[in-house]
Amino acid sequence: MTQAQDLLRSVFGFDGFRPGQAEIVEAVADGQPMLAIMPTGGGKSLCYQLPALMREGVTLVISPLIALMRDQVRALRAAGVEAGALTSSNTDDETAAVFAALDAGTLRLLYLAPERLASSERLLARAGVSLIAVDEAHCVSQWGHDFRPDYLRIGALRRSMGVPLAAFTATADAETRDEIVARLFDGVAPTLFLGGFDRPNIHLAFQPKDKPRDQILAFAAARKGQSGIVYCGTRAKTESLSAALGAQGHSAAFYHGGMDPADRRAVETRFAAEDGLIVCATIAFGMGVDKPDIRWVAHADLPKSIESYYQEIGRAGRDGAPAETLTLYGPEDIRLRRSQIDEGAAPNDRKQADHGRLNALLGLAEALGCRRQVLLGYFGESHDPCGTCDLCDRPPETFDGTEPVRMALSAILRTDERFGTGHLVDVLVGRATDKVRARNHDDLPTFGVGKDRTARDWQAIFRQMMGRDLVRPDPERHGALRMTQAARPVLRGEASVELRRDAMRTPDRPVARALVSDEDAPLLSALKAKRRALAEAQGWPPYMIFNDKTLIEMAETRPATLDDMARIGGVGATKLERYGSAFLDVIAGGAEEMHPARRKLAGRAAGGVYDRLLSVQGALTRGPDGTGKPMSCTAGTLRWIAERQPGSLDELARAPGLSAPKLDRFGAAFLEVCRDGA
């Protein structure tokens, strides 16, 4: 993996791989068929971009969205990698540049949508494709059967070209995985990598709704100037909430499936290019979002499932820097999600399972301890308390809820499991409504048994009971609550239930988590201003210069030289060359001039060897006694020696430009430097 490590550092600017990346890169580079399932923000694209630089020929990347392809191509070019895309939105010059690079043999990655494959067979045959990478591979299953049938032709392309294929996705359950294997790999199981689901940089938080618009506005106000997404349950809410944020002085836009496509593209372009833009969106704003420095995601309404929640919060913090989330939930959300399940066309057993999935999300919302433990537990992973969720920040106040839960379960049974939460609450608090009297439920032993609690308290208790999957709505009984098997030990007095008291109160105002200390905050702002100016001058999104995590590390470590700068995560050789001095001007007031050959070694051990070779050469320029003819080696020669660190005069003699007289004068001293530097 030495080559992979070198490329990771020199091209992408990272000192180490994220968990799982090294194994995948090695397998893909070796040509093994691969299906990798990794969390959003887990670094999937690097797992085929890096092998593309390690293998001969062109890597064909099949990707579903033009915006996604264009972003990745721009990011690769910014890192000094020759990449191109052939899309319907290309200009003539862009298309010509791709063909020129193919003809010159310099193109390393070619991005295509599946619809372009049929018309590009001759091009691909001449391009020398040696690897196929399928990004967002779950689309083979989700879209291949209806409006994008070209996804189903990828397997045939792989067979005809006779090259290995690697597929990548963040969202593939067992059924989807089976179909990917059948469609792309002819049913022959590839090497499977299942990555962990933990995103430790994302702070998790939930709140019951209490003036939800004010809650979202307060959350955004505490993070003013940071890019964020607010997911909304309706198109109308995206527009009204965007207007409310704009009235509060935020840069905000809305996005939903009912907009004109050109208007949606304009929002996507703005979001990629602007620092601090907030987009209020339905889930239509999802897979095409490839902005790594989204600092927060809020849900104005409860997502439809725990899987959806995980995918949507995964848009935040893809650069690895701290990010925050807030999810609001209330009775109306739950009723809406329940009705969407009940009114769907799925069979009853599937509806029951969907209600169970929604209960799992409520269980996360009403968790008693670390939310990350609950979330990862749903995906089958164990985790210690994380210290980076709202419940780790402030453990909830709990109480023994066994008695009220037994009261509620008794009310459900005595009303024959035929009624929903509203009617059951009326019975428990002793509210003799027309509906209660008509069914003689005011004569039940449970009528008024819970009158010492408010109706709002009982709503919260029922919500927590659903979160613990003690009760589920019955789709065949129009949402009437039915007990699950898990409730029976509680009813019989064989198990206890702990509930959260704070879930019945008005939530606290959200507090922003600082990206850096107060001491480093002014420098971070100055670095962001420099990034924005450079990005505007080049017409690029700011994160393609450096992402937030890189700027945070600069602000905290304050590099003083180009060598120091090269050790910052995300500063590869090309970006150091282009931007290193500009950012050092901001941090340290300028950088010492460095020869281009030496700059290519910045941040590497070979850089120190180069400096010692230069020093030794200076001492011997006129020979050991200072009377000889002046003699020196070129910077390129010194760089060659510093990188290879030869161990003998014979090896050293292979250095370009090192003539016999120079070898005689400097050879022994250079070898001593190489031995010390090895």
Neighbours of 147 (CB within 10 A): 6
Residues 6, 123 within the same domain = yes
User: What are the C-alpha distances in Å from 102 to residues 127, 367, 408, 492?
Assistant: 6, 55, 70, 73
Residue numbers of the chain with a pLDDT score lower than 70: 1, 141-148, 171-175, 286-289, 477-479, 503-514, 518, 590-592, 677-678
Cα torsion through 413, 419, 422, 423, rounded to 10: -70
Give the integer Cα–Cα distance in Å for 276 and 246.
Answer: 12
- Report the pLDDT value the prediction gives residue 302, as an integer from 0 to 100: 92
User: What are the C-alpha distances in Å from 415 to residues 441, 447, 478?
Assistant: 8, 11, 15
DSSP alpha helix (H) spans, 292-365: 306-313, 331-342, 348-365
CB 358 within 8 A of CB 347: no
- Token output for 659: 């003539």
CB 44 within 8 A of CB 71: no
Q: Is the pTM of this model over 0.85?
A: no
CB 481 within 8 A of CB 419: yes
At which of 329, 358, 390 does a domain end? 329
Would you say how long the chain is, in residues? 678
Residues 188, 211 within the same domain = no
Give the integer Cα–Cα distance in Å for 624 and 645.
Answer: 23
User: Does a structural domain hold residue 664?
Assistant: yes
- Report the pLDDT value the prediction gives residue 146, as an integer from 0 to 100: 43
Residues 55, 184 within the same domain = yes
Give the integer Cα–Cα distance in Å for 286 and 327.
Answer: 17
Report which residue type is found at 316. A
Tokens 């399932």 belong to which residue? 37
Give the integer Cα–Cα distance in Å for 355 and 349.
Answer: 10
CA angle 553, 557, 562 (to 5 degrees): 90
Residues 58, 179 within the same domain = yes
- Report the pLDDT value the prediction gives residue 144, as an integer from 0 to 100: 44
Secondary-structure percent of the chain, ordered helix, strand, coil, rounded to 5 = 50, 10, 40
| Cβ contacts of 86 within 8 Å, gap of 6 or more | 95, 98, 110, 111, 112, 116, 120
CATH of the domain at 10: 3.40.50.300
Give the integer Cα–Cα distance in Å for 78 and 192.
Answer: 31
Q: Give the HSE-up count for residue 289: Cα atoms under 13 Å, Cβ half-sphere.
A: 30
Residues 30, 152 within the same domain = yes
- Token output for 179: 């179909």
User: Does a structural domain hold residue 187?
Assistant: yes
Residues 171, 28 within the same domain = yes
- Report the pLDDT value the prediction gives residue 197, as an integer from 0 to 100: 81
CATH of the domain at 609: 1.10.150.80
User: Does a structural domain hold residue 347?
Assistant: no
User: Does a structural domain hold residue 112?
Assistant: yes
At which of 160, 176, 194 does a domain end? 194
Give the integer Cα–Cα distance in Å for 374 and 361.
Answer: 10
- Report the pLDDT value the prediction gives residue 147, as an integer from 0 to 100: 45
Map residue 485 onto helix, strand or coil.
Answer: helix
Ramachandran region, residue 440 (left: φ > 0; alpha: ψ -120 to 50; beta: rest) = left
- Report the pLDDT value the prediction gives residue 145, as an integer from 0 to 100: 41
First to last CA, the chain: 19
Residues 178, 30 within the same domain = yes
Residues 189, 204 within the same domain = no
Residues 186, 206 within the same domain = no
Domain that holds residue 575: 521-593
Tokens 């430097």 belong to which residue? 673
Give the integer Cα–Cα distance in Å for 192 and 201.
Answer: 26
Give the integer Cα–Cα distance in Å for 337 and 358.
Answer: 8
User: Does a structural domain hold residue 25?
Assistant: yes
Give the integer Cα–Cα distance in Å for 403 and 423.
Answer: 19
Give the integer Cα–Cα distance in Å for 233 and 333.
Answer: 8
- Report the pLDDT value the prediction gives residue 48, as an integer from 0 to 100: 96
Residues 544, 582 within the same domain = yes
User: Does a structural domain hold residue 34?
Assistant: yes
User: Does a structural domain hold residue 74?
Assistant: yes
Question: What DSSP line would sit under 598-649, residue for residue?
Answer: HHTTTTSHHHHHHHHHHHHHHHTTT-TTS-S------HHHHHHHHHH--SSH
| Cβ contacts of 363 within 8 Å, gap of 6 or more | 374, 467, 468, 469
| Cβ contacts of 505 within 8 Å, gap of 6 or more | none
Residues 77, 217 within the same domain = no
Neighbours of 175 (CB within 10 A): 9
Residues 465, 426 within the same domain = yes
At which of 194, 214, 238 does a domain end? 194
- Token output for 53: 């630089």
CA angle 145, 151, 154 (to 5 degrees): 135
User: Does a structural domain hold residue 371?
Assistant: no
Map residue 449 onto helix, strand or coil.
Answer: coil
Give the integer Cα–Cα distance in Å for 105 and 602.
Answer: 29
Sign, CA torsion 612/618/621/624:
negative
- How many folded domains does the chain comprise? 5
CATH of the domain at 473: 1.10.10.10
